[in-house]
């Protein structure tokens, strides 16, 4: 059996690791480390039981592998007085190969259960774990493997709760720092304190505008952090990470086109540090964006003019030139809040964000072409001039409903090249008049139900999801539509005519 090179970064589960020492401290388990480096700072990401002779293909990395030694050949554990020299060496080779494969797969530790298969842990296994630097735990007869796995999960749950609490407290302290008279330095200081490292804000020219936190930093780490900041500004990347001289480095661009970069260097990195740094990046995006371009003043001026009666097309030049798209978005896991809405706006490259009734609306310049965002469901309107923004808002809402119903990350209104096709052969005025006449018997609720039902190819369930109503309600409304329109909705010709009308209505 040949050694397999260890992967440079084992694909461990995305859960908080627990120290092996915490598991050994559980008196109810009575585990005992009998080989491997003591006090090595080993952490466990998972617990896995396997009696395979070669567990390598089944390990993710970071596991505590539990085995009762069912797969161990008899010759490998023969008593010293009952075996020949050849047996002894064969046993040594077996255990050395077995441990080498666990180490190559990124296994964190090995737990060997005593009884019912083996009375003691084989001495050759102890020697192999010592030689390979793999912690070996003796699992006593009264302790079940499922009990060990349950203890790992309990400790991981405690670690996750502690990490969530740490992240929540950090978010609150960062928000408080952003409200102080010197918000940018305050946010940098608070972030440096929370991650236990140093934070740097780079300006558009790549110079260090402000710094906070630990001074002790190797010169090579400082140079690498400067290079990482330049990397995210010169390439289409919003963040980048690296590890240099034992320091974990990360850089985040602030907004779109602002040129500011937040960089963090710390001697250690906890699972929640990226989330904490991302919150700080959002806050600094808002703070630096206002001061760098005067966009805040322009938005305030636009709002005042709208409140005083100015039409949108007159106010729009204050926000930028060209055509715009409206984006409607909902988060996938939890309700949207102001922080998440601001973060989404920053990711889409716009500070024109509105949050109402759980839906985030963002007005984005059309040339920025909104793309899918992790954790969000998006509906995007067609590009529109300011006078057509209300219609674009409706388009985005319908696209979001369709995206939600079809479980798509993003749905755009209409085809990439516009409506096109047969619809363009009819003069717009005549088409609009025909649509109004055809759909006149329907109420707005029935019209929207019919539109959604047809767009989802007559699916009752998906229409119910899109409209947030019961499927029986959808059936009743569609039946009512058929009655009021005097048509058979199972007829493809009738569906086609209604769909053309609905697109003009």
pLDDT in tens, 226-253: 888 888 877 666 788 888 888 889 988 8
Assign 415 to helix, strand or coil: coil
Prior bond of 116 cis (ω within 30°): yes
At 209, list the tokens: 């505008």
240 and 325 part of one domain:
no
CATH number at residue 430: 1.10.10.2840
How do residues 72-122 score in pLDDT, each as one tens digit?
Answer: 887 776 643 344 444 446 668 899 999 999 999 999 999 999 988 898 999
- Closest listed residue to residue 279, CA positions, set 358, 175, 162: 175
266 and 174 part of one domain:
yes
348 and 446 part of one domain:
no
pTM: 0.46
Task: State the pLDDT at residue 99.
Answer: 96
CATH number at residue 264: 3.30.450.30
Q: How are strands ordered across the β-sheet holding 136-139?
A: 32-35, 136-139, 109-113, 63-67, 46-49
- Residue 49 · residue 67 · CB < 8 Å: yes
Asked whether residue 1 is assigned to any structural domain, the reply reads no
Mark 301-311 as b/e (b = at least 16 C-beta within 10 Å). ebeeeeeeeee
130 and 24 part of one domain:
yes
Q: How far apart are the first and last CA of the chain?
A: 72
Say how many domains are in the chain. Answer: 4
**Helices and strands: H and E segment counts in the chain:** 16, 17
Range of the domain at 94: 18-143
Tell me the pLDDT of the chain (505 aa) as tens digits.
334 334 344 444 456 788 999 999 999 999 999 999 987 689 999 899 999 999 999 898 999 999 999 988 877 766 433 444 444 466 688 999 999 999 999 999 999 999 888 989 999 999 999 999 999 999 999 999 999 999 999 998 888 888 888 888 988 998 888 877 778 888 999 999 998 899 998 877 677 888 888 777 778 888 888 888 888 877 666 788 888 888 889 988 887 656 788 999 988 878 788 888 888 888 888 877 654 444 556 667 777 777 777 787 777 777 776 788 999 998 876 677 776 777 777 778 777 888 888 889 998 888 878 888 878 899 999 888 887 888 889 889 888 888 887 788 898 887 443 344 455 445 666 777 888 888 889 998 999 999 899 988 889 998 988 888 899 999 999 999 999 998 889 888 888 888 888 877 7
Tracing tokens 């749905």 back to the chain, one arrives at 411
Could you give the C-alpha distances from 221 to 153, 192, 204, in angstroms and in order? Answer: 36, 16, 21
CATH number at residue 63: 3.40.1390.20
Asked whether residue 172 is assigned to any structural domain, the reply reads yes
CATH number at residue 396: 3.30.70
Assign 245 to helix, strand or coil: coil
At 88, list the tokens: 């002894």
245 and 355 part of one domain:
no
222 and 250 part of one domain:
yes
- Residue 312 · residue 368 · CB < 8 Å: no
At 233, list the tokens: 């500004």
Asked whether residue 182 is assigned to any structural domain, the reply reads yes
- DSSP category for residue 5: P
398 and 445 part of one domain:
no
Residues ≥6 apart with Cβ < 8 Å to 340: 331, 360
Could you give the C-alpha distances from 262 to 216, 284, 324, 417, in angstroms and in order? Answer: 19, 8, 29, 39
204 and 231 part of one domain:
yes
Asked whether residue 374 is assigned to any structural domain, the reply reads yes
Could you give the C-alpha distances from 173 to 166, 187, 191, 235, 280, in angstroms and in order? Answer: 11, 9, 9, 32, 10
Asked whether residue 158 is assigned to any structural domain, the reply reads no
Q: Of 355, 377, 412, which residue constitutes the final position of a domain?
A: 412
- Residue 330 · residue 359 · CB < 8 Å: yes
At 503, list the tokens: 């697109």
Give kind and range of the element (H or E) at residue 277.
Answer: helix 273-293
171 and 266 part of one domain:
yes
Task: State the pLDDT at residue 80.
Answer: 39
Asked whether residue 309 is assigned to any structural domain, the reply reads no
Asked whether residue 306 is assigned to any structural domain, the reply reads no
126 and 173 part of one domain:
no
Q: Of 391, 412, 433, which residue constitutes the final position of a domain?
A: 412
Tracing tokens 């991302």 back to the chain, one arrives at 278
Asked whether residue 418 is assigned to any structural domain, the reply reads no
């Amino acid at each position: 059996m040949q050694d397999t090179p260890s992967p440079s970064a084992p694909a461990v589960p995305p859960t908080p690791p627990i120290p092996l020492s915490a598991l050994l401290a559980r008196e109810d388990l009575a585990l005992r480390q009998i080989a491997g480096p003591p006090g090595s700072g080993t952490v466990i990401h998972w617990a896995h039981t396997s009696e395979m002779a070669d567990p390598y293909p089944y390990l993710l990395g970071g596991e505590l592998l539990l085995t009762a030694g069912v797969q161990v050949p008899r010759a490998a554990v023969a008593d010293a007085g009952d075996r020949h020299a050849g047996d002894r060496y064969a046993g040594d080779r077996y255990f050395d190969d077995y441990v080498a494969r666990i180490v190559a797969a990124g296994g964190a530790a090995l737990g060997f259960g005593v009884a019912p298969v083996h009375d003691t842990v084989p001495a050759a296994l102890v020697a192999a774990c010592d030689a390979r630097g793999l912690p070996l735990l003796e699992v006593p007869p009264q302790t079940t493997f499922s009990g060990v796995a349950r203890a790992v999960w309990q400790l991981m749950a405690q670690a996750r709760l502690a990490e969530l609490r740490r992240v929540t407290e950090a978010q609150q302290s960062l928000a408080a720092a952003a409200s102080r008279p010197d918000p940018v330095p305050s946010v940098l200081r608070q972030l440096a304190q929370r991650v236990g490292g140093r934070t740097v804000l780079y300006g558009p020219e790549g110079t260090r505008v402000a710094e906070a936190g630990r001074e002790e930093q190797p010169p090579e780490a400082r140079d690498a952090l400067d290079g990482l900041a330049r990397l995210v500004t010169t390439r289409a990347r919003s963040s980048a990470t690296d590890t240099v001289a034992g320091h974990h480095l990360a850089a985040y661009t602030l907004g779109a086109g602002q040129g500011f970069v937040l960089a963090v260097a710390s001697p250690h990195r906890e699972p929640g540090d990226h989330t904490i740094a991302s919150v700080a990046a959002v806050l600094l995006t808002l703070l630096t964006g206002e001061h760098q371009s005067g966009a805040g003043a322009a938005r305030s001026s636009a709002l005042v003019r709208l409140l005083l009666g100015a039409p949108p097309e007159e106010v729009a030049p204050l926000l930028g030139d060209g055509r715009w798209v409206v984006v409607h978005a909902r988060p996938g896991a939890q309700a949207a809040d102001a922080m998440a809405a601001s973060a989404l706006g920053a990711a889409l490259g716009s500070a024109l964000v509105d949050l109402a009734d759980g839906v985030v609306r963002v007005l984005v310049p059309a040339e920025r072409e909104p793309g899918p965002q992790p954790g969000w469901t998006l509906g995007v309107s067609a590009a529109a001039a300011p006078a057509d923004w209300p219609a674009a808002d409706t388009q985005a809402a319908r696209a979001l409903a369709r995206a939600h119903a079809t479980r798509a990350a993003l749905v755009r209104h209409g085809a990439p090249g516009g409506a096109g096709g047969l619809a363009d052969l009819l003069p717009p005025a005549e088409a609009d008049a025909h649509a109004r006449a055809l759909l006149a018997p329907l109420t707005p609720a029935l019209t929207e139900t019919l539109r959604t039902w047809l767009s989802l190819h007559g699916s009752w369930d998906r229409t119910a999801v899109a409209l947030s109503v019961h499927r029986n309600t959808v059936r009743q409304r569609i039946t009512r539509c058929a009655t009021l329109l005097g048509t058979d909705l199972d007829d493809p010709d009738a569906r086609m005519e209604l769909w053309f009308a609905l697109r003009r209505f």
